[in-house]
Amino acid sequence: MKKKNTSSSSSSSIVKGIVLLVFLIVLFVITSKLKKNGFSSHLTNLVNTDFSIDMKKIKELGEAEKEAQKKIFAGFWVYQTQDQEASVQKSDHIELKDNGIIWQVINWFITLPSGDTVSIYHTRQAYLNPYGKITDNLFSCEARIIRQVYIIGTDTCYGNSQVDEIWTAEMGKNGLVLNNRVYNKYDGETEEFFPEGMIDQVDRLLLKSCKTGAGMTFYAKNIIKDKLNASQPVIFNAQSMREWVQQYYNPIVVEEMLCSPNLGVVPDSLRIEFSVATDGSVFALKSKGRLLEENRFEKKLIQEIQTWVFPKPEPGAQKTDVSHTFKFSR
């Protein structure tokens, strides 16, 4: 009979016990602080400067109302890319417990024109505290990212922990709306809800820290840049560049911007003109028909476009001027 490794099993149990104890202590501190103080001064400042809603218009909830709202939001929720032929496939699984604890696994599966594919995962644990009512069904919430990991291919790293954010949440006709993204109710077996082994990733102790600026968009753009360095030249014209934007940068960048609560004023559309050099980089960028002199959303989009990389052209090609109209729906 094979002898069990009781020492290894005991050590593993001790480590898990320590992790659980630390988590419970952190959760107690978070909930105690929120019940006593509500929004931290840092988050109040975020609302006043970066949020598109005046703090004075938010009706603060009482403690009983907050707990009741957590129970309304609770459940298993799923977001999935509708177009199954899209080059960027997204899935987002959220378990929201009635005490406000969130477990979330996000996956992006990217297919490049070469046929190469890459999968990126983001697993995180968070705490959601409904703070106040914006409208009858829309709530402003304080969210704290307790711990998180990113998995890029075979590479895994841990992201920043104890990060405070502001989320919006609403129970809509089609499901739970978190930060402008609609999640449908999951009706399958809960044991099969998350991809196998993904939730356990946040408990790994010997992980390296992620690079500065880590995020799904950050990693997806880096992957595209690396793949393009080894890709074959393409036909270089404005239409092919616009198609590249629609196929990759729209889902990777623009969609994610629209799912951020601190956008400021978002126009219905925005026309951007830019040039693409023969090395694939962007220059001479400008927007046409500016919405405002200083618009946060427009400014961020322009900053993003400046980092984009496009496929390299065939030998002898010249730079390409592109005019692209971005259409925004939230």
The answer to whether the predicted template modeling score (pTM) of the entire model surpasses 0.85 is: no
Pair (123, 81) in one structural domain: yes
Pair (137, 96) in one structural domain: yes
Pair (137, 277) in one structural domain: no
Alpha-carbon distances of 308 from 55, 111, 180, 255, rounded to whole Å: 35, 17, 25, 15
The number of distinct structural domains making up the chain is: 2
Q: Is the dihedral angle over the CA atoms 65, 68, 69, 70 positive or is it negative?
A: positive
Examine residue 218 and state whether it is found in any structural domain, yes or no.
no
Pair (248, 321) in one structural domain: yes
Examine residue 227 and state whether it is found in any structural domain, yes or no.
no
Task: Kindly state the average pLDDT of the residues 48-72.
Answer: 79
Examine residue 225 and state whether it is found in any structural domain, yes or no.
no
Pair (168, 241) in one structural domain: no
- pLDDT tens column, 167-192: 999 998 889 999 999 999 999 999 99
Examine residue 129 and state whether it is found in any structural domain, yes or no.
yes
Contacts of the segment 63-70: beta carbons below 8 A, 24+ positions apart: 63/35, 65/130, 66/129, 66/130, 66/131, 69/130, 69/139, 70/98, 70/99, 70/100, 70/128, 70/129, 70/130
Pair (186, 51) in one structural domain: yes
Judge contact between 123 and 195, C-beta under 8 A. Answer: no
Pair (191, 241) in one structural domain: no
Examine residue 124 and state whether it is found in any structural domain, yes or no.
yes
- pLDDT tens column, 109-119: 999 988 889 99
| Domain span including residue 180 | 9-209
- pLDDT tens column, 262-290: 777 788 889 999 999 999 999 999 887 65
Pair (109, 153) in one structural domain: yes
Examine residue 190 and state whether it is found in any structural domain, yes or no.
yes
- pLDDT tens column, 200-216: 998 887 679 998 889 99
Examine residue 323 and state whether it is found in any structural domain, yes or no.
yes
Find the CATH number of the domain harbouring 279.
3.30.2420
Q: What local confidence, expressed as pLDDT, does residue 21 receive?
A: 55
